[in-house]
A and B are shown apart, each in its own frame.
Chain A
Amino acid sequence: QSALTQPASVSGSPGQSITISCTGTSSDVGNYNYVSWYQQHPDKAPKLIIYDVSYRPSGVSNRFSGSKSGNTASLTISGLQAEDEADYYCNSYTSSSVVIFGGGTKLTVL
């Protein structure tokens, strides 16, 4: 099972909005609403920020939002802040009853 496809890097200025895409296939992202997003700061464990495509866990800022269209899920961060600079990963359930991750996206806040 191949990894989900994410852009290697994205950047934005403070206050702007950015979107990170996560592209899979009809066997994973396109067939299930089981897509999550994780934020990982250097040398830290990942943190769940979006689950089931568009739900935010308690305590996660409403500046983070998720959506899906076809085989592509997206994470949008609005009102960029310096603390948002991190790596972001998506994952999805698959028809093979396994979980796959995206390759990760490095977000730089300019």
Chain B
Amino acid sequence: QVQLVQSGAEVKKPGASVKVSCKASGYTFTRHYIHWVRQAPGQGLEWMGIMNPSGGSPNYAQKFQGRVRMTGDTSTTTVYMELSSLRSEDTAVYYCARENSSGWTRFDPWGQGTLVTVSS
């Protein structure tokens, strides 16, 4: 079955970077874009960006421009989201999700989420 499995929880200090992985299986990796979404504790969902695992420039939310980098490795069917210059407000669960349409809003399935805690 189609599945996205994310890497484990991370604890980082302010100013550091974090790299979260998302391994895809059960479908042709290069045929579907991948979104990254985060959710701060007790808060709503926040879209971070979308990337094409086949290559090309990702599309990032303006809020994260210059601080986020989304990449993919077709040999391991894994995508990565790296967020730099971490601050306490970046403490959140980070999700990857597969896109299923040309309209960029059909997120299915989602990864299980990766908790990133930023604390000194």
List residues of chain A with CB under 8 Å of any chain B CB.
1, 3, 32-36, 38, 40, 45-48, 51-52, 57, 89, 91-93, 97-104
- Contact between chains at B47 and A98 (CB < 8 Å): yes
How many angstroms between the C-alpha atoms of A34 and B106 in the bound complex? 8
Q: Could you jot down 30 A-B contacts, CB within 8 Å?
A: A32-B103, A35-B105, A36-B105, A36-B107, A38-B107, A45-B109, A46-B45, A46-B95, A46-B107, A46-B110, A47-B110, A48-B108, A51-B105, A51-B106, A52-B101, A52-B103, A52-B106, A89-B44, A89-B45, A91-B45, A91-B105, A93-B103, A93-B104, A93-B105, A97-B59, A99-B35, A99-B104, A101-B37, A101-B44, A101-B47
Interface size on B, residues (CB 8 A): 25
If the complex has contacts A1-B62, A45-B110, A48-B108, are A34 and B103 also in contact, measured as CB distance less than 8 A? Answer: yes
Chain B residue contacts of A93, Cβ below 8 A: 103-105
A-B contact count (CB 8 A): 72
Top 5 nearest A-B pairs (CB, nearest first) are A34-B103, A45-B110, A48-B108, A104-B44, A51-B106
CB-CB under 8 A from A38, the residues of chain B are 45, 107
Interface string of B95-120 (1 = CB under 8 A from A): 10100110111111111110000000
Interface residues of B (CB under 8 A from A): 35, 37, 44-47, 50, 59, 61-62, 95, 97, 100-101, 103-113
The docked-state distance in angstroms from the alpha carbon of A41 to that of B57 is: 33
Q: Which residues of B contact A102 (CB under 8 A)?
A: 44
When distances are taken between beta carbons in the complex, the residues of chain B under 8 Å from A89 are 44-45
